[in-house]
């Protein structure tokens, strides 16, 4: 009986640790992914800086968004009801930065012109 109890305890602990260590989906109420749409005639590079779903200020990697298309910036979850800095680079221009406020109530699409 004691041997069985220790096995059950070990299994339960392993399951708990596995669940904590595995990546999951963030809570939609607390954070969201961002989609960037380029409406101009040129491609753009973009990266974001802001508070993630864990409340840590972070920078994303750089994405290439083709002209007249949209890209979801996957792998990053941004805290809602807060602002992110949107950094953009177009061919032949310098990096530009603008702010965007992320609301809880809607899908987040940042449109670039």
pLDDT, position 80: 93
Is the Cβ–Cβ distance between 94 and 43 less than 8 Å? no
Is the Cβ–Cβ distance between 33 and 102 less than 8 Å? no
pLDDT, position 100: 93
Residue owning tokens 């979801």: 72
pLDDT, position 105: 77
Ranges under pLDDT 70 in the chain: 1-29
pLDDT, position 1: 53
Residue owning tokens 């109890």: 5
Is the Cβ–Cβ distance between 90 and 42 less than 8 Å? yes
pLDDT, position 110: 83
pTM of the model: 0.70
């Amino acid at each position: 009986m004691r041997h069985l109890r220790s096995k059950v305890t070990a299994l339960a602990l392993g399951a708990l640790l596995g669940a904590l260590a595995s990546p999951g989906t963030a809570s939609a109420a607390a954070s969201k992914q961002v989609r960037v749409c380029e409406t101009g005639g040129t491609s753009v590079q973009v990266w974001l800086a802001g508070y993630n779903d864990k409340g840590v200020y972070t920078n994303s990697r750089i994405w290439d968004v083709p002209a007249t298309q949209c890209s979801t910036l996957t792998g990053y979850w941004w805290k809602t009801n807060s602002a992110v800095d949107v950094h953009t680079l177009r061919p032949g221009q310098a990096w530009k930065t603008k702010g965007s406020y992320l609301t809880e109530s809607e899908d987040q699409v940042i449109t670039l012109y």
